[in-house]
């Protein structure tokens, strides 16, 4: 991802990268651009949209950017283009979930939560992606300012505590299948440790892979002897363990070599297990011919508890839950509770009919195509820029339901802002929920309960 300051900057960058793509036959790294609205090029006065430049609709961009020929058994027949670079201008910097993303070029000043959200696009996990694969080349920001932006989210992070027993429970679930042997895992780890860090010559790397596979092969043979259901249950158990261990290991040193051994062995075994298409990333052939690096300094922006200070804010992250997933965010408060708070704050005596209007506001936002698209691609703040204007229209369209509410809404800016904030938060939560239809159904059911009948 190449992060630019604006649409014109992104357009110029996009064109320059495309020239390199044309001048380097065989590399085929493919370039896409993402921006909102229409761009009038200052050099030619021609107007362009994202869809016109990319050759497909904005909605299809995440799918097209995520396509990898090496993962597609029908790649030769399909002959689909592959894109490895995405140039963005105020888009896809929040909420974009692409596990293959491993590099970012930043040519835009980033501060505060914008820095955290943008750089965190690289945090998504992938079976063949490690922390060592992630790189950020920043041309516009000071290392210490980036560190300061992350500090509030590090120093006072709120999360449900992870029960230490959960990790051992997952280890037990993996081992109870009887597929893995401690001696094979120990030999695998010993070979891996002997190789040491860094790249190996091609012949040495091939020999290393052969030795590692020697200790994976018995487990693969035992896996092949399981029934289909047991195969999937084992795969799921191993995935749950490696995913949880990877998260916990970033925070604390667990200090248990058995867990570390199972993690190192298990994450490689998962890639080799048959039954699902293997995920791979083909980086092609590359010959580095011209490159100039000017070192401006060497910085350590890692954070420790001594960096926190007393003025840092609160961040929120999700911990692991006992059901195998992550702790869910607290349920959004019922609309009746929101109406009660508005009554306490403004003393208007709002009732169920006013609650229905708030419901209409939330439902209208969720089902509005433009608001829905903005919500999916952006954070709540940017969603609010579109949602707030739309809310005025929705409330006005339902004016006949409650003239008293409408009067308060348009005559009292503070009340209007409070209603907008409540409706915007609930709508954004539903839009970004993977089970969107279920979340909307829960809202309808809540409304029916509160009003004693069907929702409008």
CB burial of residue 346 (10 Å; 0-12, 13-18, 19+) = middle
Beta pairing class for 47-49 and 38-40? antiparallel
Give the orientation angle of helix 413-431 with respect to helix 352-367, to 10 degrees.
50
Cβ neighbours for 104, distance < 8 A, ≥ 6 positions apart: 1, 2, 3, 118, 119, 121, 122, 135, 136, 137
pLDDT (tens place) for every residue of the chain, 456 residues total? 999 999 999 999 999 998 887 777 666 678 999 998 899 999 998 999 999 999 999 889 999 999 988 888 888 888 888 999 999 998 888 778 888 999 999 999 998 888 888 898 888 877 777 777 888 999 999 888 888 888 776 544 444 445 557 788 899 999 999 999 999 999 999 888 877 655 556 677 777 778 888 999 999 999 999 998 999 999 999 988 988 887 776 556 667 888 889 999 998 898 888 875 444 333 333 333 333 444 555 566 666 544 544 444 444 444 444 444 444 444 456 767 777 777 777 777 777 677 777 777 888 888 887 777 777 766 777 777 777 777 877 777 766 666 777 777 777 778 888 888 888 888 888 887 766 677 777 777 777 776 565 444
Give dist(CA 267, CA 238) in Å, integer. 8
Cβ neighbours for 297, distance < 8 A, ≥ 6 positions apart: 143
Classify 158 as helix, strand or coil: strand
Q: For the chain, give the number of residues.
A: 456
Contact 43, 7 (CB under 8 A): no
Q: Could you tell me which of 26, 31, 27 has the C-alpha nearest to residue 12?
A: 31
Class of domain 2-158: alpha beta
Give dist(CA 226, CA 219) in Å, integer. 11
Token pair 């030795």: residue: 211
Give dist(CA 270, CA 236) in Å, integer. 10
Q: Could you tell me which of 357, 359, 325, 374 has the C-alpha nearest to residue 440?
A: 359
DSSP 160: P
Task: Enumerate the domain spans of the chain.
Answer: 2-158, 164-272, 335-451
Cβ neighbours for 333, distance < 8 A, ≥ 6 positions apart: none
């Amino acid at each position: 991802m190449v992060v630019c300051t604006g649409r014109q900057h992104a357009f110029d960058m996009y064109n320059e990268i495309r020239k390199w793509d044309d001048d380097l036959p065989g590399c085929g790294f493919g370039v896409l651009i993402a921006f909102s609205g229409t761009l009038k090029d200052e050099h030619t006065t021609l107007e362009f949209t994202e869809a016109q430049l990319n050759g497909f609709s904005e909605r299809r961009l995440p799918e097209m950017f995520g396509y990898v020929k090496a993962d597609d058994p029908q790649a030769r027949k399909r002959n689909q283009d592959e894109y490895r670079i995405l140039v963005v201008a105020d888009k896809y910097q929040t909420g974009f979930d692409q596990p293959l993303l491993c590099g970012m070029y930043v040519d835009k000043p980033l501060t505060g939560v914008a820095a955290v959200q943008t750089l965190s696009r690289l945090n998504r996990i992938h079976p063949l992606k490690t922390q060592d694969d992630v790189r950020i080349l920043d041309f516009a920001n000071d290392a210490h300012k980036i560190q300061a932006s992350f500090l509030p989210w590090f120093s006072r992070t709120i999360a449900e505590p992870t029960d230490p027993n959960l990790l051992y429970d997952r280890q037990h679930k993996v081992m109870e299948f009887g597929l893995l042997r401690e001696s094979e895992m120990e030999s695998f780890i010993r070979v891996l440790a002997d190789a040491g860090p860094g790249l190996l010559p091609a012949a040495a790397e091939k020999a290393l892979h052969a030795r590692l596979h020697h200790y994976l092969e018995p487990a693969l043979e035992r896996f092949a002897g399981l029934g289909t259901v047991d195969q999937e249950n084992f795969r799921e158990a191993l995935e749950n363990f490696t995913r949880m261990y990877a998260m916990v290991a970033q925070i604390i040193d667990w200090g248990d070599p058995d867990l570390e051994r199972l993690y190192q062995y298990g994450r490689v075994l998962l890639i080799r297990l048959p039954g699902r298409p293997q995920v791979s990333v083909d980086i092609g052939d590359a010959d580095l011919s011209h490159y100039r690096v000017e070192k401006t300094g060497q910085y350590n922006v890692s954070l420790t508890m001594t960096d926190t200070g007393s003025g840092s804010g609160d961040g929120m992250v999700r911990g692991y839950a006992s059901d195998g997933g992550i702790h869910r965010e607290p349920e959004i408060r019922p609309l009746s509770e929101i109406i009660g708070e508005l009554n306490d704050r403004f003393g208007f005596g709002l009732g169920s009919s006013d609650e229905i209007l708030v419901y209409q506001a939330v439902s209208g936002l969720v089902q509005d195509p433009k608001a829905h698209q903005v919500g999916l691609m952006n954070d709540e703040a940017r969603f609010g820029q579109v949602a707030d204007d739309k809310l005025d229209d929705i409330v006005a369209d339902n004016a006949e339901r409650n003239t008293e509410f409408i009067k308060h809404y348009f005559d009292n800016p503070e009340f209007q802002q409070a209603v907008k904030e409540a409706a915007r938060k609930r709508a954004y939560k539903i839009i970004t929920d993977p089970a969107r239809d279920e979340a909307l159904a829960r809202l309808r059911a809540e409304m029916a309960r509160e009003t004693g009948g069907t929702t409008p």
